[in-house]
Structure 1
Amino acid sequence: MITRRALLQPALAGAALSFVGLPARAGGQLEEPLADSVRTALSSAIANSAPPVPDFTDTDQRLKYLRWLGAMSGRLQRRKTDWTERKEFLQTVWYESRRAGLDTGLVLGLIQVESAFRKFAVSPVGARGYMQVMPFWTRVIGNGDPASLFHMQTNLRFGCVILRHYLDRERGDLYMALGRYNGSRGRPQYPNAVFAAAKNWEWKEEGPRETSPVPGTPPGRVPGGPS
């Protein structure tokens, strides 16, 4: 559950606009000692380099994904004008967020705040890429090469795995987990901004189909369709 959601509502509308087009400003995760078991689990979660190709067991889920892809593509077109690049980016965000058990709309909102969807964004503290991952993570759980964080799937996988790790540490409190991701744990500005930006990436189908709740407690960790 998001334990402080009620405190954040007044700031949501304005915060979404205030971060549009700003330079990279976040991604200040703090390096902390990790237990060997945690380090091993995170390294394992990062290591699988399978391409992010959605795999569906039934036609309904595939069609649902394609409808989501079409809707998100239209919203992202101004920021990424090339269709192939846009499709690959959205497909990877969908795959990696679902793989980590995160809400896809929330992850897109975080990327909007962190980098304004710029692949090569670098923050003043050195965080890199779409999800503004700090380079120390490549040493702690990766291959030790900070340049790899400019690779799209690598960056998105690191970012989603790290956010999942923080969410687990905060026992499902997304407000606190986002603060940890930003290095501003306990302060409302960053969680407010991400929650507000996530509103831009909510997806609601017509008729009796499901509505994607954003933000919210992550569902399962097994990819099976857009949340």
Structure 2
Amino acid sequence: MRKLIGLIPILIPPIAQAGAQIYEPLSASTRTVLQRAVSDQAISHFITLPEAESKVWLVTMSGRLKGRMPDHNEREDFLTTVHYEATRAGLDPQLVLSIIHVESGFRKYAISTAGARGYMQIMPFWVDTIGSKDHNLFHLRVNLRYGCTILRHYLDIEKGDYFRTLGRYNGSLGQATYPELVFNAWNKYWRHPATQEVAQH
């Protein structure tokens, strides 16, 4: 589990002991696709679940997250955004929650020793590569939009191999430690019936 050094949250952002995405040159076409992905307008709602199921999911996940994010409104906004951004990118929301669990411990202003920022620990070079100068990586929706877009990009590169995708996301491709941490978090804290098969990969 990644350790977070709890400093004064208002004055100094906590430091996340997480790995970091490694800069890799992108083809012009890939860069364009990713730029479009991060710039699309965001809408906070459940885009795949019927209303009854979305309420069950939200209540269930909210109960699990309450200890780490006590404020109800903040927690609901966070979870709704996670579900929207993950689903929009074709990812399982439980995977994204598990990554956030390991990467930042759900700390909005976490900064790693490598300089990665926010919930999903995004390296600042991504803003220069596929974003714009006004993108704040500590903003909830911006951070999750980047994180899910990058994760989807890596999953496509690795042809659906979650083990290698997670290693690439963390900058530790080929090593087992980080993928195992994410899968353990998935199975222990964030398992959901629809994701059991993927979580065991």
Which residue is 1:216 aligned to?
A: 198
Answer whether contact 2:104 2:120 (CA < 8 A) is retained.
yes
Match of 1:25 among 10, 17, 23: 17
For 1:72-221, list aligned pairs within 5 A: 72-145=61-134, 148-199=136-187, 200-203=189-192, 211-214=193-196, 216=198
Unpaired runs of at least 5, structure 2: 6-14
Residues 20 and 216 (structure 1), Cα distance of their counterparts in 2 relative to 1, 3 Å cut: farther
Which residue is 1:207 aligned to?
A: none
> Cα RMSD between the aligned structures?
1.8
- By how many angstroms is 1:51 displaced? 2.9
2: CA distance between counterparts of 1:139 and 1:52?
26
2: CA distance between counterparts of 1:140 and 1:164?
16
TM-score for the superposition, normalised by structure 1: 0.79
TM-score for the superposition, normalised by structure 2: 0.88
1: CA distance between counterparts of 2:60 and 2:83?
13
2: CA distance between counterparts of 1:93 and 1:125?
24
1: CA distance between counterparts of 2:45 and 2:194?
21
Which residue is 1:46 aligned to?
A: 38
Which residue is 1:3 aligned to?
A: none
- Ranked by relative contact order (alpha carbons within 8 Å, sequence separation 6 or more), the top structure is 1
Instruction: Name the aligned partner's letter for residue 52 of structure 1.
Output: S
Q: Deviations over 1:121-149 (max 9, x none)?
A: 00000000000000000000001356x00
- By how many angstroms is 1:215 displaced? 6.2
1: CA distance between counterparts of 2:125 and 2:100?
19
* Percent of aligned positions that are identical: 49
- By how many angstroms is 1:90 displaced? 0.2
Which residue is 2:10 aligned to?
A: none
Q: Deviations over 1:174-216 (max 9, x none)?
A: 100100000000000000000111121112xxxxxxx222462
Structure 1 runs, 4 residues or longer, greater than 6 Å off: none
Number of residue equivalences: 189
Q: Tell me whether 175-184 or 18-27 shows the greater mean CA deviation.
A: 18-27
